Structure 1
Amino acid sequence: MTDAAAPLPAAAPAAGEHPNQFALLGQRRFAPFFWTQFLGAGNDNLFKFAFTVMVTYQLQLAWLPPEKAGLVIGALFILPFLLFSATAGQATDKYDKTAVIRFVKTLEIAIMALAAWGFWMVHVPVLLACVFLMGLHSTIFGPVKFAYLPQHLGERELTGGNGMVEMGTFVAILLGQVAGGLLVAVPQVGPHYVAIACLAVAVLGRLTAQGVPPTPSTDPGLRINWNPVGETWRNLKLAHGNLVVFRSLLGISWMWFFGAVFLSLFPAFAKSVLHGNEQVASLLLVVFSVGIGIGSLLCEVLSRRHVEIGLVPLGAIGMSVFAIDLYLATRAIPPGALWDLRGFLAQPAHWRVMADLGLLALFAGLYSVPMYALIQLRSQPSHRARIIAANNILNALFMIASALLVGLLLDAGLSIPQVFLVTGLANAVVAAYIFLLVPEYLLRFVAFVATRLVYRFRVHGDEHIPVKGPAILVCNHVSFVDAVLLMAASPRPIRFIMDHRIFAIPVLGWMFRLAKAIPIAPQREDPAVYERAFREAAAVLADDELVCIFPEGGITRDGTLGEFKGGVMKLLEARPVPVVPMALSRLWGSFFSRIDGAAMVRPFRRGVFSRVGLDVGPPVAPTEVSPPLLRERVAALLAAAA
């Protein structure tokens, strides 16, 4: 696993230099890329929507009836994702990503020049060909879009950067569709205006691409396999090599399935259920796009600038809740004539529908952004773009399946609100299945809830927790939820060495088994369990993962820091790795501590939202480690936090 040519995430500026994700727009490593992808997404939708409106309302074509125009255009656009995503992923891994971006934007100018001629001459076959070519353009750009960010952003910036890109994409889609609809509707010269606009945006996108900084190849020796079928299968197998990544790809693809159900039904929903005109259908799209954008931007705030996959279950819950409530809200829709925008907004029942759509989209943003960031962080840099290509292939397949299933449900007699209800219920089932397959999502959700709703958790020095490579974390042991809080603080999974008796505690025991915690017993009590624990921990470190040990050997009974035992030294004998000292503060006296001799007997002993903290010190080299030194470092962190 090498990425010698690429800038390392650790080289990115410290988080303190950038107060929020919007600060990235002032930096060359992000801003030109952001505006390039923004203009590309906007141009895609300006072109497609204007063409759809022209065919639907302005032309009378026996071979392309209005009711099928949107379906044909959508199918032509998505076809290249199935055919060429695998090749695009290889090219992105093999070549400088900036060179690929500039090639794509130059290709966009050529395609839009041809499309401009098609609009000027009202030549529908040429415009259909351009739809396919713009699909190819997006297919090539797709792997670059997500493989570029990890080479220029650090772990603490990755969620914010993805949130900005996701927000920008949906805003661009919205603006493109609005602009396309307005321009093509201009009497007599509408198609001419669309032609000029598409070409102008393409040229502007090529100019912004010129400012994107070099992004070296991650696998320059790769030999491209031009067989799309064979390479597609190979990419899917490559993605399957990391089960957490592969199942996250499936989770993202399900989100596209879910979203495609709603987006495809907006026009019919607005007309037949809400009794609204075209303006109402556009309003629903605006509400949905704004919701996605807000949810995407909220990810950085809620994740505290880490890749926080605990947001994913929260997003899934919100998606189901508001999809189901959308069905319930439609039952209160009053009958009436065809509402214009003003009349629609005057009806109180319609505001609940818009709130459901907006919140549903917001939670979809919370669901998708951390998943994208996790895939970028956990994929090997040498074939990261091919993993993204596999994601694009799966997304396309799921969206096609979505269209087919919606058609079957409607043919079976279900109403549009009932389709929304079925989708919301299915989302709950699919999400639960994914989270059981990848328990890390569920565990991080529990940690997220504990550190936001139970405690006011503040972390200092978390930049000392390594984002890659093996390390041993050592921490004082104050309560039964110490491990949960450490989970929330780390950007990576942690394997905990824990007293075997904790696994008998209801709920906590189940959770720690789910986290693959390593049970340990005192050597004099059970030598076999003791030795097995250290063998398993050494294997975890050999896999470049994190191991956490509580060197006091048990939870404190008086709130003081005990002596550190020699378990850390035994681990270092098998695998010399850095050791990171950590100190939990203000947990003594909480419900989960032993302040009265027994923990978990007096609920709300300290109320809710009580303040707790974690302070992380610089790593200690394995040659310098000793139990007294580590205890001294942890004691110093506790003193500083007092």
Structure 2
Amino acid sequence: MQPAEPDTDHLEPDRRKWVGFWSMIVQQTQNAFNDKAAQFILVPLAGAVGATIFGLPIEDAAGLMIALPFVLFAPLAGWVSDRFSKRNVMLGAAIAQLVILVWLAGSVYFRSMPLALAGFFALAVQSAFFGPAKVGITKELIGSKHLGFGAGVQQMTAMLAILVGQIAMGVVFDRRFITGGGGHEAAWQAASGPLFLIMLGGIPAIVLAWIVPRTPAQGAAKLRLKTTIEHFNHLRELWSDGPMRLASFGIAFFWGFAAFLNLWAIKVAAELTQSGEGFGTLQSWFMAAAGIGMAAGFGVASVLLRRRIELGWVPVGGLLMTIAAVVLAFIDPRGSLDLLTDGPAAAFGSAFLWVMTLLAFFAAIFLAPLNAWIQDRYPAAKRGELQSAVNLQDCLAGILAVVFIRLGFSLLGGLENLAVLHWLLLLAAVFCGAMTVGIIRLLPSHFVRVLGLTVIRTFYRIRAVDAHHVPEKGGVLLLANHVSWADAFFLTAASPRPVRFVMDATYMKYRPVAWFCRIFDTVPISLGRPREALRIAAEALNAGDVVCLFPEGQLTRTGTLQPLQRGAELIARQAGAPIVPVWMDGAWGSIFSFERNRFFRKRPYRVPYGIGIAFGAPLEGAGTTVERIRLAMLDASAAALASRLPSWRRDPAVMANGYQLGQINALPRRARFAGLATDPEIDALPGLAAFSRLFGSRFEKPGTPADSEVAHWVGGDALRSAIEKGARPAVPAVFFDFGTRAAEPLEAEGWTHCPCLAAGGVMVSLSFPDPPIPNAASKAQPGGRENTLGHLLPGFAVGEDQRTICGPATGRVPLPLPEGLQVGPHGLVLRTGA
């Protein structure tokens, strides 16, 4: 009987688990360095003394010897990793490595190449058992939430260790060999000292493995003879899961390509130096370029995947790998010989090294998401077994890479060796391109989403507020305000989970829209068939998806929250899923919003443009009403505004109120507006000056309306009295009336009267001229209504009694509305009972 699988999907690691994770990272880094340092001392040593294995050159044989243990011992390594605590397996591997390093140091001391090569093979065997344990323990220590980050860090540090081990030992051996005068004895001397130091480096790895907390064993099967030869059974189990099978093939392709590139670079170095003086140094430079690129790629991937595992980076990495490989195939590597004389000075000017670095960087971007995704998908009881099956595939791919190069030299033997190497790289690039096309066809939505979000994040600085309110699992209904055509991308970029959007099925008749909706798994509903629409949306929620609905049913052209449709309430009740209200703050003003009374045809104010997406506290679907949803969305608007307060160190409440004024279709940004110099109401509203500073508007204070050709005026009773006495503006103007008689109608030539409300020096609501209707299908959105004081500004939460507001502009304390006023059901401030 197998033990119950631990819930690592929701694991939030404590301090001990994080200490254990970082100890594991340091241990596997030390292990990788020791492994590669020893191997890259032995490879040039064997080359210098003329050793071969079964007639193969040492660089070819070394690749096979490293891969072979992963093939031979894959089932046994997987069984060990599942049968025992992975921490204990890592500890045993650390002890085994120290013993092998002692063996290697003794072999070199006694000048025995057969014993040294046996130790070389033993190191690879140790790695075959260490690999499944170190990979499998990552999720057990830090859980699914941090797995993308953890896998990226693990791969980055391992690659850095491999890089340092390869470079350091190649250069050290070369210099000691040349200083010793060359020859067999000089080669043995060049290897002896470094191997002794590497041996001492095996001791800290044991201590670090001991620090890692002991994780429970996952499997309980006893060891049988057939366990050691169950290669194909394990592969069959891996392949039985279609998505996992495809991911494993992608990982195997990476390691096959990496093995090809590694051996290809060694062959290039050997050809340029004729395997003589400078060979170790030149191959170290090539390995440095590849290693730095790959380590940097894994580091960047750990950042890209820190919030969630995003498979869209796989085809992006594959596409860029293909381009870099094609470019590298057409660069003459002979210029790299300058590295032997000029060193770092030549490296900065070497196109060959730069392109190799980029190729390795993009390869890491390709691999990291696949590794994290497949680790997350493994069943806990079979994590070691399946990881060993993956390792087996990886090594088979590495062996195929060696065969590919050997076969290429046989078939293209009539060409110069460098020409053969160019053609082989070009063929590898073609194969990489074919793989990438296949991946894009399998993951079109992931690919398009990554590209789209990359563009969005280039032009928008998106900030997620309270994203923890989105449950980590299960169906969730997001209800968001709808401000711009890019809202879906903004929300996708901010959400901690992938989002499916609800769309009116009538748009599906347009082929580009239909294609886009299909690859993004959009939920199409027919507004003419409400019951069917409810059923389809409820099915998506019951399937555990995050579904987003814009309950306004239209884009706002006022900047304020439009009346909510009843469909959202019915969907939430039928599905029984939690509802998370969402507020898009700052989207008003983007080129995709109706700010400046038009969509699209306008220049951005700045790049990047700041957008805040606030996720409100979840509501229970049962019993939720449209009014409760509206109030929750307003709560989220206040939270979104509060997240901006740290940027306003001086008068944050005043600045918040000025910012609110810029989120509606009233006073224009980067334009002039005015108020009478004698109007005391202006000085009582400091938010006006804050709006001017925030949005680049110029606030003028002329003596009379006729003194300034300004189309937007703000004031109170003083300006109203002047208008009633016949004061006319120089141009047709809008009067935003914050006076005590604002609710009373005002008819005056040249003026459009817009009643507004301020309380305690805080601007609460504004009415404004109706925004234009962009097309015949658009619904009217009034800027105000009779007997109201306009729309409540975004950024205010409303009390249950509808008579108090609260938000950053009120100092986060409730502000009572004046007697007889309340916030109505559509966000308009009106008289009680109206």
For the aligned pair, the TM-score class normalised by the smaller chain equals: 0.7 to 0.9
Is 1:291–1:359's contact at 8 Å kept on the other side of the alignment? yes
CA contact (8 A) 1:174 1:289 kept: yes
For 1:510, the equivalent position in structure 2 comes to: 515
In our comparison, the structure showing a higher alpha carbon Rg is: 2
Provide the C-alpha distance between the structure 2 equivalents of 1:378 and 1:491, rounded to a whole number of angstroms.
18
Match of 1:44 in 2: 35
1:487 match: 492
Q: Which amino acid aligns with 2:539?
A: E
1:79 matched to 2:84: no
Go from structure 1 to structure 2 and tell me whether the alpha carbon gap of 1:85 and 1:477 turns closer, same or farther (over 3 Å shift).
farther
Post-superposition Cα deviations, 1:431-461, rounded to whole Å, max 9, x if no partner, equal 1211221234314313432332242222222
Q: How far is the alpha carbon of 1:480 from its aligned partner?
A: 3.5
AA matched with 1:89:
G
2:470 maps to which of 453, 456, 465: 465
Please show how residues 144-543 of structure 1 align to structure 2 within 5 Å: 144-153=133-142, 157-181=146-170, 182=172, 185=177, 187=186, 189-217=189-217, 219-222=218-221, 227=226, 231-272=230-271, 277-278=278-279, 279-303=281-305, 305-330=307-332, 339=338, 341-343=340-342, 351-413=350-412, 415-505=420-510, 507-522=512-527, 525-526=528-529, 529-530=532-533, 533-534=536-537, 536-541=539-544
C-alpha distance in 2, partners of 1:289/1:238?
33
- Range with bigger deviation, 529-538 or 32-41: 529-538
Separation (CA, whole Å) in 1 of partners of 2:385 and 2:588: 48
Which position in structure 2 is the counterpart of 1:546? 546
The one-letter code of the counterpart of 2:155 is E
Q: CA deviation at 1:349?
A: 9.8
Partner-residue secondary structure (3-state), 2:464: strand
* Alignment check: 8 A CA contact 2:573 2:622 kept: no
Task: Look up the equivalent residue of 2:24 and give its one-letter code.
Answer: F
- In 2, Cα distance between equivalents of 1:558 and 1:355: 51
Greater helix content: 1
Q: 1:511, CA displacement in angstroms?
A: 2.4
Structure ranking higher in strand proportion: 2
How far, CA to CA, are the matches of 2:591 and 2:236 in structure 1? Answer: 47
Distance 1:623 1:416, change over 3 A: same
SS at match of 1:329: coil
**Structure 1, residues 235-268: CA drift from partner, whole Å, max 9, x if none?**
3344345544432322222222222222111122
1:555 and 1:2 mapped to 2: Cα distance?
A: 53
Report the Cα distance in structure 2 between the residues aligned to 1:478 and 1:274, rounded to whole angstroms.
64
SS in 2 for 1:577: coil
The question of whether the paired residues in 2 share the 8 Å contact of 1:271 and 1:277 is answered with no
**Are the equivalent residues in 2 in contact too, given 1:116–1:195 (CA < 8 A)?**
yes
C-alpha distance in 1, partners of 2:497/2:82? 25
Partner secondary structure for residue 562 of structure 1:
coil
Note the alpha carbon deviations across 1:489-517, whole angstroms, 9 max, x for none. Answer: 33443333222134345645422211221
CA contact (8 A) 2:297 2:360 kept: yes
Structure 1 position 303, deviation (Å):
4.8
Moved more, 587-596 or 69-78: 587-596
Distance 1:586 1:506 in 2: 31
RMSD: 3.5
**TM norm structure 1:** 0.86
Letter in 1 for 2:340: L
Task: Find the partner of 1:118 among 97, 103, 107.
Answer: 107
Secondary structure at 2:543 match in 1: helix
Aligned mates of 1:112, 1:391 — CA distance in 2: 27
Per-residue Cα deviation, 1:370-400 (whole angstroms, up to 9, x for no partner): 3222223344434333332232122112222
Distance 1:382 1:8, change over 3 A: same
What amino acid maps onto 2:234 in structure 1? Answer: N
The alpha-carbon deviation at position 145 of structure 1 amounts to 1.9
Paired residue for 2:581? 581
> In structure 2, what is the equivalent of residue 19 of structure 1?
none
Cα distance change of structure 1 residues 351 and 627 upon mapping to structure 2, 3 Å threshold: same
Residue 359 of structure 1: how far off its partner (Å): 1.7
Which digits, 9 at most, give the CA deviation of each residue in 1:547-600, with x for residues without a partner? 33333344445433234444455455555333322222222354444568885x
Contact 1:76 1:132 in 2 (8 A): yes
Cα distance between partner residues in 1 of 2:237 and 2:445: 21
C-alpha offsets along residues 141-173 of structure 1, whole Å, 9 cap, x if unaligned? 112222222222255543333232222212211
Is the contact made by 1:32 and 1:212 (CA closer than 8 Å) also made in structure 2? yes
- Paired AA for residue 50 in structure 1: I
Give the letter aligned to residue 485 of structure 2: F
| Counterpart Cα distance in 2 of 1:50 and 1:626 | 72
TM-score, with length taken from structure 2:
0.67
Q: Helix, strand or coil: the match of 1:30? A: helix
Cα contact 1:521–1:529 (8 A) shared by 2: yes
Structure 1 gap ranges (5+): 15-23
Q: Give the equivalent residue in structure 1 for 2:13.
A: 12
Asked if structure 2 preserves the Cα contact closer than 8 Å seen for 1:308 and 1:491, the reply is no
Q: Which moved more, 1:385-394 or 1:2-11?
A: 2-11
Identify the residue that residue 46 of structure 2 maps to in structure 1: 55
Distance 1:191-1:345 versus aligned 2 partners, 3 A rule? closer
Identify if the C-alpha distance between structure 1 residues 214 and 112 changes in structure 2 by more than 3 Å, giving closer, same or farther: same
Q: Tell me if structure 2 keeps the 8 A contact 1:582–1:617.
A: yes
Distance 1:6 1:273, change over 3 A: same
Q: For this pair of structures, how many residues does the alignment match?
A: 620
Provide the secondary structure at the position in 1 that maps to 2:502: strand
Structure 1 residue 540: Cα displacement: 1.9
Bigger shift: residues 608-617 or 204-213: 608-617
Deviates more, 1:562-571 or 1:462-471: 562-571
Contact 2:581 2:616 in 1 (8 A): yes
How far apart, CA to CA, are the structure 1 residues paired with 2:236 and 2:474?
Answer: 25
| Deviations 1:58-117 (CA, angstroms, capped at 9, x unpaired) | 2x457655x522222321221121232233234323432211211222222333333333
Cα 1:471–1:151 change in 2 (3 A) is: farther
SS in 1 for 2:524: strand
**Distance (Å, rounded) in 2 between the aligned partners of 1:465 and 1:529:** 27
**Structure 1 residue identity aligned to 2:634:** A
Of residues 503-512 and 100-109 in structure 1, the stretch that sits farther from structure 2 once superposed is 503-512
CA distance in 1, matches of 2:12, 2:339: 54
Partner-residue secondary structure (3-state), 1:122: coil
Counterpart contact for 1:326–1:357, Cα < 8 Å: yes
**Structure 2 CA distance for partners of 1:223 and 1:571, relative to 1, 3 Å:** farther
Q: Distance in 2 between matches of 1:626 and 1:214?
A: 50
Summarize the Cα distance change of 1:630–1:148 in structure 2 as closer, same or farther, 3 Å threshold: farther
My pick for the range that moved more, 458-467 or 605-614, is 605-614
User: C-alpha separation between the residues in 2 aligned to 1:115 and 1:203?
Assistant: 15
